[in-house]
Structure 1
């Protein structure tokens, strides 16, 4: 019998890169640009019209999606992923900055004596 993960009432989506299910809150929603181009954009608010695709915000899942040509299948001919690549790179940089800031030890006020 397969193990089924229960996450309450959170909607589940499938990542187009790794094909694993995850909650909506942990995946990025991607949509076509809407201007007739083949550009894919990140729907930060998850409210844009049109068909959406979901992707974990990791470079590994992005690479898998590109390799599998998943963007074109999920979003009807979409191919330009520069916005998605930029967003994932910024997310990784922001996470690294947060970790570095959290690991910096600052003396407490008055403890220098």
Structure 2
């Protein structure tokens, strides 16, 4: 986080506290709704997540497969 803006750190090299996030836009939406980032990073107020969202989109964040998508079921074996 730099000046209230969440900064992606895929190489995990930036100093300071960090917060893990699944590479899934739905997880980012859920974290925003629950105010998870300010709590995890121990900062007051909302944070700008635009950089994280664009990073997820640029790096092919996985989409949640539809239930009727062939091959989307878990093999029980």
What is the TM-score with the length of structure 2 in the denominator? 0.69
Task: Give 4+ residue runs of structure 1 displaced > 3 Å after superposition.
Answer: none
TM-aligned CA deviation for residue 89 of structure 1: 1.4
Kindly report the root-mean-square deviation, in angstroms, between the aligned alpha carbons of the 2 structures: 2.0
Aligned with 1:51 (options 17, 21, 27): 17
TM-aligned CA deviation for residue 47 of structure 1: 1.1
User: 1:91: which partner in 2?
Assistant: 59
The separation in 1 between residues aligned to 2:21 and 2:51, in whole angstroms, is 13
TM-aligned CA deviation for residue 63 of structure 1: 0.7
Query: CA offsets, 1:20-69, max 9 Å, x none?
Result: xxxxxxxxxxxx12xxx110000121011001110001011001001101
In structure 1, the gaps of 5 or more residues are 1-31, 97-113
Q: How many residues align?
A: 61
Structure with more relative contact order (C-alpha pairs < 8 Å, separation 6 or more)? 2
The structure whose residues are more often strand, as a share, is 1
